[in-house]
A and B are shown apart, each in its own frame.
Chain A
């Protein structure tokens, strides 16, 4: 890009990645004009509270916003909210919007995020069946979470369990149905799954593992009254939440002929195959220098870190993406902090006692620490953040020995 002429950078999407990109560009005093096009009527906001303290009503909508819109606008940037991008014309560098207008771009950044995976089963369109992805979803669900009502949650992952904890707190009668033989199977090890199973069960949540759903029972006026199980049983329900994961939102990119592979394919500089188009966040299958394989991650950390890489790329700096993934979840009084990716571990080391509600699981591959899950032990999380990033071998015997201070391993 030449430096003298003012150009236009368009961000497609208004989520966390988009917000973090705009923020970083503000901080770095990016000289070109940025236009963010977001489908929701809100400026970029924090999604994590939607299943937690926003759902319980402890925080209000305004506090979800990353920052007030005026901060972006005062710097000369523009938010086009409540409008959808319907087409990208890469030949002419134009995008077409749902309000029939068009925007010309010099640089385009796709931050289209993800969409919820829908359950295809008889009765899936009945009233009272919810999904949770945005503020409107959370508002709809919250209205229904009245003490004494029966909420059945399909899917025992992060979102399902966080909603279970929030609803339980509000006096709702909660059942969680999980098809696998343990909770959060995709993202954590068996010790953590067992701990959260006990935590929910002790609080009065009815957690059923190995329980597949085949459909929904209809009552009067098309309202859901129950969830049908593969074993023939029926769980009565006033409200249902389906939380069975998300899919990357790649439709626009695919239609524009950009390479996608369960995610828009980008390199370590967040560049797609088209030099004028970058992509960041949940929608990407990306190169991270910490890993051999391409990754697709659904997380705030990945969204903001890729946004920072994209900001550097837009400003002509070459800072490759090398970022340790991390996640967190709050359920009841439990703070779970996770770092790294545990899928390929071959050994686990547990420190502390789950019954004390303060313990940590280290995931090793050979003598390399690949992930850490810490319950109410922020220090272990921070130690993990360092060690996983460094990618060095750790002293496994010292790690196993509870008398070795964690700090000394760094």
Chain B
């Protein structure tokens, strides 16, 4: 159990509680955070759960595989610490993490 803060493009903050093991996308969806859709349910098939992890937390979010990299490479608002939320498996080490949401999902 921990907390992750999602910050919308307009700076609105949402603090979401999470259980380790669920995906970051699911954490956002379970807490009705606007700006993260996750339409495909976490299959890395739609590209609608783009998040930008704050620099200091990026290293804790795991590796980006080829499919995710390809999806991100065409995502508008791509940043160096961009991830697809469905590909981040939450761990206890992410308690207190802050992630930013883009203005638009694709």
A residues with a Cβ closer than 8 A to B are: 23, 26-28, 46, 48-49, 66-68, 71, 75, 300-301, 304, 326, 328, 330, 335, 337, 376-379, 381-383, 385-386, 407, 410
Q: Flag if A68 contacts B30 (CB, 8 Å).
A: yes
In the complex, the answer to whether A377 meets B74 with C-beta atoms within 8 Å is no
B45 close to A (CB within 8 Å)? yes
- Determine the distance from Cα of A127 to Cα of B90 in the docked complex, in whole angstroms: 44
Q: Which residues of A contact B32 (CB under 8 A)?
A: 23, 26-27, 67, 71, 75
Known: A23-B32, A382-B106. A46 touches B41 (CB 8 A): yes
Other 11 A-B pairs with CB < 8 A, given A385-B106, A386-B106, A407-B73: A23-B29, A68-B30, A71-B31, A301-B39, A304-B37, A328-B40, A328-B46, A335-B45, A379-B73, A382-B70, A386-B74
Interface residue from A26, A48, A378 paired with B71 (Cβ < 8 Å): A378
Jot down 10 A-B pairs with beta carbons below 8 A, ordered by A.
A75-B32, A301-B39, A301-B46, A328-B45, A335-B45, A378-B70, A379-B71, A382-B71, A383-B74, A407-B73
The secondary-structure label for the interface of chain A is: helix
Q: Which residues of B contact A301 (CB under 8 A)?
A: 39, 46
Please state if A328 and B43 are interface contacts (CB–CB under 8 Å). yes
- Complex Cα spacing A378 to B29, Å: 23
Nearest B residue to A385 via CB reads B106
Bound CA–CA A382/B34 (angstroms): 22
User: Is B39 touching A300 in the complex (CB atoms < 8 A)?
Assistant: yes
Contact: A382 with B47, CB < 8 Å? yes
Residues of B near A326 (CB, < 8 A) are: 46
CA distance A326 to B29 in the complex (A): 21
- Taking CB atoms, residues of chain A closer than 8 Å to B43 are 48, 328, 330
Min CB–CB distance A379 → chain B (angstroms): 4
B45: A residues at CB distance < 8 A:
328, 335, 337, 378
Interface residue B75 (Cβ < 8 Å from any Cβ of A):
yes
Chain B residue nearest to A75 in the complex (CB): B32
CB distance from B28 to the nearest CB of A (A): 10
Shortest beta-carbon distance, B27 to chain A, in Å? 11
Which residues from 43 to 86 on chain B have a C-beta closer than 8 Å to any C-beta of chain A?
43-47, 67-68, 70-71, 73-75
Q: Are B34 and A300 in contact (CB under 8 A)?
A: no
- A382→B37 CA distance, assembly (Å): 16
A410 to B75, CA, bound (A): 12
Name B44's contact: one of A27, A75, A378 (CB within 8 Å). A378
Contacts of A410 in B (CB 8 A): 74
Taking the closest CB of chain B, its distance from the CB of A340, in whole angstroms, is: 14
- List B contacts of A407 (CB < 8 A): 73-74
A335 to chain B minimum Cβ distance, whole angstroms, is: 7
Whether A382 and B40, one on each chain, are in contact in the complex, defined by CB atoms closer than 8 angstroms, is: no
| 3 closest residue pairs by CB, A with B | A382-B74, A379-B70, A27-B34
In the complex formed, the residue of B with least CB distance to A68 is B30
Least CB distance, B30 to chain A, in whole angstroms: 5
Complex alpha-carbon distance, A118 and B84, angstroms: 39
B39 touches A304 (CB 8 A): yes
Alpha-carbon distance A304/B46, docked complex (angstroms): 12
Contact across chains for B41 and A48 when beta carbons are under 8 A apart: yes
Minimum CB–CB distance for B5 against chain A, Å: 17
A48 touches B40 (CB 8 A): yes
Q: Note all chain B residues with C-beta closer than 8 A to A381.
A: 71
